[in-house]
């Protein structure tokens, strides 16, 4: 799947304000949990629209934890969970942070009017980060069903 394929699939959802984690569930035909949707919306535009750490990155970390984290008493988190999240963070720093001068929404959007989300810019970051997140999961042999 290419970045353009992902953009095409995710754009209608992104226009509704969903973040990477929720887009991933939607594109994989996972059932949406309204409580989870509400909780994850706090990551948007840099943690509650504060301009801080990009919600695409934090959403990607949540997506990794969704598949590799502990969800029940009888489960154990994947032994590489934190390493996978660190790998995603380093990738984001090198690819997005370097390009925009940082990893916060404030940095990424500093040259946009009113520092508001730019659908084109944010959608591309979202697609690239989604692909990297899914690559990390696949490299660690974690089944996502997608």
Residue that has been written with the tokens 């989870």 in this structure: 36
Other CB atoms within a 10 A radius of the CB of residue 5 amount to 12
Q: Is the pTM of this model over 0.85?
A: no
Read off the pLDDT of residues 57-101 as tens digits, 9 standing for 90 and up. 998 999 899 899 998 899 999 999 999 999 999 999 999 999 999
Show me where the domains of the chain are located: 3-139
Judge residue 43's burial from the number of C-beta atoms within 10 Å of its C-beta, 0-12 exposed, 13-18 middle, 19 or more buried.
buried
pLDDT at residue 17 above 70?
A: no
């Amino acid at each position: 799947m290419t970045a353009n394929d992902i953009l095409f699939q995710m754009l209608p959802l992104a226009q509704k304000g969903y973040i990477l984690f929720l887009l991933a569930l939607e594109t994989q035909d996972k059932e949406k949990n309204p409580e989870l949707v509400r909780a994850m919306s706090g990551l948007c535009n840099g943690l509650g629209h504060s301009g801080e750490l990009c919600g695409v990155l934090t959403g990607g970390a949540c997506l990794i934890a969704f598949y590799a984290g502990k969800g029940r008493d009888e489960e154990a988190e994947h032994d590489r969970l934190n390493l996978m999240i660190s790998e995603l963070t380093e990738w984001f720093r090198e690819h997005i942070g370097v390009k925009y001068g940082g990893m916060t929404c404030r940095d990424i959007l500093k040259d946009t009017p009113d520092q508001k989300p730019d659908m084109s810019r944010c959608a591309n970051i979202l697609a690239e980060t989604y692909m990297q997140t899914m690559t990390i999961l696949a490299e660690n042999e974690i089944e996502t069903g997608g």
